[in-house]
Chain A
Amino acid sequence: MEAVMTAPIQEKKITSDGIIGMVFVLATEAMFFAGLISAYIVNRAGVMVWPPAGQPRLPIEVTAVNTLVLLSSAFALYMFGRRVKSAAYIKIRSKGLLTAALLLGATFLAVQGTEWVKLVGYGLTTHSSLYGAFFYTLIGLHGAHVLVGLTILLYLFSSFRKPLPFGVLKSRIIACSMYWYFVVAIWPILYILVYLN
């Protein structure tokens, strides 16, 4: 039997499905962090002594350096996206900038992990105080997003194995990068609110 189905003739697309989908994902994520951050601000406003007596101070300096690591990861990804001008680029040139973005993101997560281990050792836990509770919840949920972001970048990396039309490739790079930019952009806000407050 001959296929009679034809490809859909559609109204003009605004942009790719993936990019529009990502816009809505990020809008939801932004509201998620807005909820978390406002909960933190409201509770924090009602407490006089912050951090509470007997609780360790947060590693401000190490985390400042780590913030730069995360920001440079986003910069590497941005440069990667700018350089991809054709599908051939990815085959011919190494994916060095994307690898760099991935490794810098992973470094950020690893440093966060080691700092957490130290903090738990100093007596800051989820149930030691509201201070600890908010720290681990806010920073931990951000860390979970970093992990998801790294997975998305890995997916982007692996999708270069199959030959794809350049348009598809380009919009996939944009959609995946959007998530990573979001994860990176939310971090300085958390750093200022949680570490420097």
Chain B
Amino acid sequence: MDATLHKQSFWSKYIFSTDHKVIGMQYAIMGIIMAGVGGFLAYVFRYNLAYPNASIPLFGHLSATQYNAFVTCHGMIMVFWVGMPVLLSALGNLLIPLMIGTDDMAFPTVNMLSFWIFFLSAVVLLASFFVPGGAFGGGWTMYPPFSAGGYVNHNPHFFTALFSGVSLMILAVALELVAMLMGGINFVVTTINKRTKGMTAFRVPIVVWFINIASVIFMFSVGPLVAGAFMLLFDNILGTGFYDPARGGDPMLWEHLFWFFGHPEVYVLLLPALGVLAEILPVFARKPLFGYKPIIYMALVSAVLSVLVWAHHQFVAGIDPRMATFFSIGTILISIPFAGIFLSFMATLWKGSIKFSVPMMWVLGFIGLFLIGGLTGLFLGSNTFDIYAHDTYFVVAHFHYTLFPDIFFGFFAAIYYWFPKFTGKSLNAGLGKLHFWLTFFAFNVTWFVLFFNGLAGQHRRINDYSDFSLIMREPYITFEKIATISAIILILSQFIFLYNLFTSLAKAKKGVKNPWESNTLEWVADSPPPHGNFQTYPVVYHGPYEYSLPGEGADFLPQNVQGKNDTNNVTQNNYEHKTATSFATHK
């Protein structure tokens, strides 16, 4: 270890650190805290849905305005302050440098700034709850005219308008997007330029590929949203009227700019989690990943398609029917590459010697739940059915069946799998399994019943159904209550995880390097990896999923270990001689 590293103060080591692992943990911790906020909001408004006008334990009475704000912020927080930081930023930061065998990101200072801008964005969003009028309540999609002044927050003065719920939410989202952009550029440049010797493009683990593809999709689609967000902010604080039809503006413009980003965003969230699955499945099936290259190609195809389908969110808002057909076909087409990726995952399991470890359970749970989410998505992709189901609980249940496994099952799989690497300690497996089963059942009960409420016509933006006779009858009233009680169980089960996390962190370090007997490079480093990651940089001889190869001693072959068939791979490279001499000079 470099002697100067021991002199780091607490502040430069844990707070304003430029170490990718510390920044990754900071993102993960912020994500967990924000998930707590988002979960609490969900608890409050779900309670209100089942028991209208009741006094809610730990909260009190929920007004209709507050209900709207809570639903809006729940969606915002779970997508932008939980999904993005934990799946893209935390995983990207923790994994990329270790998995490609390097010491840190390409731009460590930009990386640190990225986290602190993200932190600031979370503060701005939470502050919006405390301004006059409260947080914005016009839905997480922020459609004008609700979000463009006039209707909900009419503030004639510049500063009153600036410190209103809607303006602060726009600012918070803009800051968050800047933070993610800084992170994304770091990921891509690091992966392009800092791979260790022998780590050719098609030896890079899938999760690194997928985080990079997600970053590129994000960079491509975020610009128009930021442009739209500026115009929305100016409508609020400068009175521009871009989205106000009375003054020649066009509210549909926002919908296009928003969903041009909003739909690809789904894949920005999905791809890193699928990458986690691709890392964990071969390890616990003790088999090579089925179709490594096709999986990458299918992800690239889906990335291209992802920016061509956005208007399927606007079938009801009104678009040309010929265009609606185009977007319907695109939407159904994009399910083909994802079906391909899932089939590759299934094929990886086929005839494997499956170990039902805790991370593997989250992975299998993910696949099961996502199947339901994906199938209901096919229904909605058809604009004829979508017009019927629009804005009902059917849609809400559908996207919770995709986003919940994606964000939470993906993240928990990652935590249970990589926790030993980044702490040198291990989580309790029994508590992990209890956590999994409770989460899995409670989630299913909560959302499965709501498909039926949605098909019966229950609309998603109403806080009190007392006057709606079609919904206020059996079995739908009971379904509402079942969903709420089950959601509370779902939230309470997460305390098992927190308990497990804290008690495991309090244990002594064991520092086991490779507890799961995996192949990728992060398992070559110490547990936890020191600042700079590797004592000597590993050299890579083959792809990341070489399990149960015939003729090898063990049933796994780490990427830095030369296998029987790898003899010529590295020595044939023409830069071998050059790097060998530069290696000597650095000594």
B-binding residues in A (CB < 8 A): 1, 3-14, 17, 20-21, 24-25, 27-36, 38-39, 42-43, 46-47, 126-127, 129-130, 133-134, 136-137, 141
Contacts and interface: CB of A to CB of B under 8 A. Distances in A.
Given A10-B194, A133-B238, 14 more contacts: A3-B1, A6-B583, A6-B587, A12-B575, A20-B193, A21-B107, A27-B219, A33-B227, A35-B228, A39-B231, A136-B238, A136-B240, A137-B230, A141-B230
A28 B2 contact: no
A28 B219 CA distance: 5
A186 to B, nearest CB: 12
Contacts of A30: 223
B185 A25 contact: yes
B228 A10 contact: no
Contacts of B3: 1, 3
A119 B388 CA distance: 50
A170 to B, nearest CB: 16
A127 B248 contact: no
Contacts, number: 153
B199 A11 contact: yes
Interface in B260-319: 260
Interface stretch (B21-29, B125-133, B370-378, B529-537): B529-537
A21 B194 CA distance: 13
Contact of A10 (B186, B195, B230): B195
B199 A32 contact: no
A56 B368 CA distance: 63
Contacts of B197: 9-11
B227 A36 contact: yes
B171 to A, nearest CB: 15
Nearest to A133: B240
A31 B216 CA distance: 12
Q: Top 10 closest A-B pairs, CB basis?
A: A35-B224, A31-B223, A127-B239, A32-B223, A35-B227, A133-B240, A126-B238, A36-B227, A17-B106, A130-B248
Nearest to B250: A43
A35 to B, nearest CB: 3
B150 to A, nearest CB: 13
Contacts of A5: 1-2, 103, 532, 534-536
A36 to B, nearest CB: 4
A28 B181 CA distance: 9
Interface in B161-201: 181, 184-186, 188-189, 192-200
A123 to B, nearest CB: 15
B89 interface: no
B43 interface: no
B242 interface: yes
Contacts of A129: 247-248
Given A1-B3, A6-B537, A9-B579, A31 B220 contact: yes
A24 B226 CA distance: 16
Contact of B185 (A12, A21, A47, A127): A21
A43 B536 contact: no
B223 A133 contact: no
A1 B2 CA distance: 8
B253 interface: yes
Interface in B46-104: 101-103
Interface in B207-250: 216, 219-228, 230-231, 234, 238-242, 247-250
A11 B195 contact: yes
B interface, size bucket = 35 or more
15 contacts: A1-B1, A4-B535, A6-B586, A7-B582, A11-B195, A12-B575, A20-B193, A21-B185, A28-B223, A32-B227, A35-B227, A36-B231, A39-B227, A43-B249, A126-B238
Given A21-B189, A24-B219, A8 B107 contact: no
Nearest to A131: B248
Interface of B: 1-3, 101-103, 106-107, 181, 184-186, 188-189, 192-200, 216, 219-228, 230-231, 234, 238-242, 247-250, 253, 257, 260, 532, 534-537, 539, 575, 579, 582-583, 586-587
Given A8-B196, A13-B193, A32-B224, A137 B234 contact: yes
Which of A9, A38, A127: most chain B Cβ within 10 A? A9
Nearest to B106: A17
Nearest to A30: B223
A32 B181 CA distance: 13
B234 A43 contact: no
Given A11-B195, A31-B223, A4 B106 contact: no
A7 B581 CA distance: 12
A39 B225 CA distance: 11
B467 to A, nearest CB: 39
B189 A127 contact: no
Nearest to A130: B248
B231 A137 contact: yes
Nearest to A43: B250
A30 B238 CA distance: 25
Contacts of B241: 127, 130, 133
B210 to A, nearest CB: 17
B115 to A, nearest CB: 18
A35 B257 contact: yes
A13 B191 CA distance: 10
B396 to A, nearest CB: 28
B117 to A, nearest CB: 15
A116 B177 CA distance: 30
B64 to A, nearest CB: 31
B221 A31 contact: yes
Contact of B222 (A4, A7, A14, A31): A31
A130 B244 CA distance: 10
Contacts of B103: 5, 8
Contact of A11 (B186, B200, B216): B200
A20 B537 CA distance: 24
